[in-house]
Structure 1
Amino acid sequence: MPKTKLAASEKESVLVPETMKSAYLQRPLEVSVEEERVPNVTGKEVLVKLMAVGVCGSDIHYFAHGRIGKRYVQYPHVQGHECAGIVVSIGEKVTKFKVGDRVAVEPGVACMNCEWCKEGRYNLCPDVQFLSTPPVKGAFVQYLRHPEDFLFPIPDSLSYEHATLAEPLSVSIHAVKRGGLTPGSTVAITGMGPVGLMTVIAAKAFGAKEIIVSDIEPLRLETARKFGATKIFNAANEDLNAAIEEITSGLGVDMIIETSGNAKVLQSSIESAKRGGSVVVIGFPAIEEVPLNITLMLQKEIDLFSVYRYTNTYPLAISLLDTIGSKIKPIITDKYPLEDIQEAMNQAHTNRSGSLKVMVYPNHLQD
């Protein structure tokens, strides 16, 4: 690969290739690795050499079905948005970073001018450019151009692959904050995919005294226990509502957080919440309209919160991950170089019982 010397500052420079490898989704279930030019950076842009990218559930939806809701893939498309790497070049107006800095990438770049951005709810910005959400290209690339305001430093003690988890953990932090979780609360979390597991960590960090979780996969339930779940239930053969009733002496939980996207689980969550409790919804159901027992919600005065991405969560997420350290390792079950992206996506798509977080390494495979 030919290389060009790019100026980073008056005192620093780094050799960056002229071209890079990028993984393109060509059609449903088919990804290919292509060669393209490394982007130049100007102004407040930063060029990040990506060292790790996690495969997210939304990536799998686009990979397999070509759409989520009303968002359709425009082929060919680059996926991936959970990422971290090292700064290799900076624009002339960048003030927060220098070459060599290790960073986590917040994937959603908001306009910061609309009413939602000005209110601090930039996750609702109608003009947000979110990595991998069509038509915005994502992070399954070797080098990513990104604004400095949406990059966050990571300590040397935090690996790149663990730093990528700041993205799903941010969703979970936003969820427990939206629901108003307070120390001493009893929380139930349904669905132990990566976001559900991150929600266990967030609930524990915010002081939940009882964390009840459910899933149908033993691997996911055991990982949840390692992360701090106090009680685990296999929804394939155990009645979660009955278990919650017994654990709480018939009162119900203070908060139930639904991450699975299962419509029936969402419907039953109304029964599991205590009077005056809250239901927090993260998972997208397969169907757009899910009937809920509004009468029961009214009688119990239950608060219903929906969660869409996050705002101002990355510094806390990075701090939590650094504090947890190696204990977070069990969530990363599969590792692939970018060249094997097809196999990585297939694994994430088909091996729910054996895989949690599939990690892709655009530049080299870490130990």
Structure 2
Amino acid sequence: MLAARFHGQHDIRVEDVPTPTPSAPDDILVEVHWCGICGTDLHEYAVGPIVTPTTPHPLTGVTLPQTLGHEFSATVVEIGRDVRDVAVGDRVAIMPAIVCGRCYFCRRGQGHLCLVFACTGLSAETGGLAQFAVVKEYQVAKLPDSVSDLEGAVIEPAAVAAYGVDRAGVTGGDVVLVTGAGPIGILSAMYAAAVGAGAVIVAEPNPNRAALAASLDIGEVLDPTAPGFAERLLDLTDGIGVDLTVECSGTSPGLATAISSTRRAGSVVQTGLHTKPAQLDAMALAEKDLSLHGSWCYRLTDWPRVIRMVAAGRYPVARAVTAQIDLPDVVSRGFDVLVDPQGDQLKVLVRSGGGTS
């Protein structure tokens, strides 16, 4: 089968590799339909290896090269003898986290904080940027007929966005600022609107991404580097500031905008991942009595809930998809386009098999 394999910085090769086979009684072989290229994948490509293991991973034992892809939908083609939740032929979305189930955090229902956390497509034998993958039963969630294969591949980043917004604690009617209009920022804005935000404002300096965000009509889109940004934000919030900010840019300027824009006693959640230490105005954090939250991954049990929101039309995740490409073109039309700072794409999905849109 074909698979996009990460060997090192700027080195992804579409290679012919053996089709994986289930070996454990709770293993499931799936045929991949669509797989998204994530910001984490882009970080690996541009400056990695970061989380892809160069020595045997403590849980999975794998090392580079790694088949990438952890945002994907698929159809079940083979199941282990102990699998009960899905059957051959079921369409599924993959929850890629691999956890030990035994550490302090796993035993408390916080598998996303597992001490030996691994991930299909980053630190596992298989990944979604391939024609087939093997996953565990706890990693699959059935898709209803009303959710397409394409939407199924966006459930993973949609869950990341949802968890960040939930960490910030949106209350009905809140004014929410999202800094950074990348895929997670756009999905965060959509989710905030879906769970009751009174208004959503997006801050994005890249004109191409700002235009994409504006075309989705989620809320006002502002350039945080433009003169008058702070004044416009105060105009929109009766001079108080936003109730909470979801910081999705993963940059020090984005975090600074979040802290300066949020009202006293408001909340800021850091959803975007920083690849280097950030500068933080701790005095402003203290003076404004702000709550600053981290956000890592998602609750591993969130897939059915997010899928139901998509099925009901409340969380229109497919609107974040701006390009659909084939697996052989994953580098030239996917990774190279997305790492361009002035790129005009938001979420690129890769067609690995027979999925429909």
Normalising by the residue count of structure 1, what TM-score does the alignment of the two structures yield?
0.87
Give the aligned residue type for 1:359.
L
| Structure-2 separation of matches of 1:161 and 1:325 | 16
Deviations 1:211-240 (A, max 9, x none): 111112344334434545321112343543
SS at match of 1:171: helix
**Structure with the higher fraction of residues in strand conformation:** 1
| Structure-2 separation of matches of 1:195 and 1:293 | 24
Count of aligned residue pairs for this structure pair: 347
RMSD: 2.3
**Alignment identity in percent?**
28
2:40 corresponds to: 58
Q: Does 1:192 align with 2:181?
A: yes
Deviation at 1:70, TM superposition (A): 9.7
1:9 corresponds to: none
Indicate if the aligned counterparts of 2:67 and 2:122 stay in contact, CA closer than 8 A: no
| Structure-1 separation of matches of 2:344 and 2:303 | 29
Deviations 1:64-105 (A, max 9, x none): 212337976954222111001100000000011100000000
| Structure-2 separation of matches of 1:221 and 1:122 | 35
Residues 306, 71 of structure 1: alpha-carbon distance in 2 compared, 3 angstrom cutoff:
farther
Larger RCO, structure (CA 8 Å, separation 6 or more): 2
Residues 345, 315 of structure 1: alpha-carbon distance in 2 compared, 3 angstrom cutoff:
same
SS at match of 2:17: strand
1:3 corresponds to: none
| Structure-1 separation of matches of 2:280 and 2:265 | 17
Indicate if the aligned counterparts of 2:105 and 2:114 stay in contact, CA closer than 8 A: yes
Deviation at 1:142, TM superposition (A): 0.9
| Structure-2 separation of matches of 1:54 and 1:161 | 9
Listed as ranges, the gaps of 5+ residues in structure 2 are: 56-62
| Structure-1 separation of matches of 2:215 and 2:316 | 8
Residues 121, 241 of structure 1: alpha-carbon distance in 2 compared, 3 angstrom cutoff:
farther
| Structure-2 separation of matches of 1:27 and 1:96 | 37
Deviations 1:223-260 (A, max 9, x none): 43454532111234354333222221221111011100
| Structure-1 separation of matches of 2:109 and 2:20 | 30
Q: Kindly name which structure, 1 or 2, has the bigger radius of gyration based on alpha carbons.
A: 1
1:11 corresponds to: none
| Structure-2 separation of matches of 1:35 and 1:152 | 28
Listed as ranges, the gaps of 5+ residues in structure 1 are: 1-19
1:292 corresponds to: 280
Which deviates more from structure 2 when the two are superposed, residues 310-319 or residues 29-38? 29-38
2:4 corresponds to: 23
SS at match of 2:312: helix
Give the aligned residue type for 2:36.
G
| Structure-2 separation of matches of 1:294 and 1:136 | 42
2:14 corresponds to: 33
User: After the TM superposition, which residues 1-367 of structure 1 pair with which residues of structure 2 at under 5 Å, given as runs?
Assistant: 20-41=1-22, 42-68=24-50, 75-134=64-123, 137-225=126-214, 227=216, 229-288=218-277, 290-311=278-299, 312-324=301-313, 328-343=317-332, 344-350=334-340, 352-364=342-354, 366=356
Indicate if the aligned counterparts of 1:116 and 1:125 stay in contact, CA closer than 8 A: yes
Indicate if the aligned counterparts of 2:252 and 2:280 stay in contact, CA closer than 8 A: no
Indicate if the aligned counterparts of 1:112 and 1:118 stay in contact, CA closer than 8 A: yes
Residues 172, 328 of structure 1: alpha-carbon distance in 2 compared, 3 angstrom cutoff:
closer
Normalising by the residue count of structure 2, what TM-score does the alignment of the two structures yield?
0.90
Which deviates more from structure 2 when the two are superposed, residues 352-361 or residues 221-230? 221-230
Indicate if the aligned counterparts of 1:200 and 1:228 stay in contact, CA closer than 8 A: no
Residues 45, 70 of structure 1: alpha-carbon distance in 2 compared, 3 angstrom cutoff:
closer
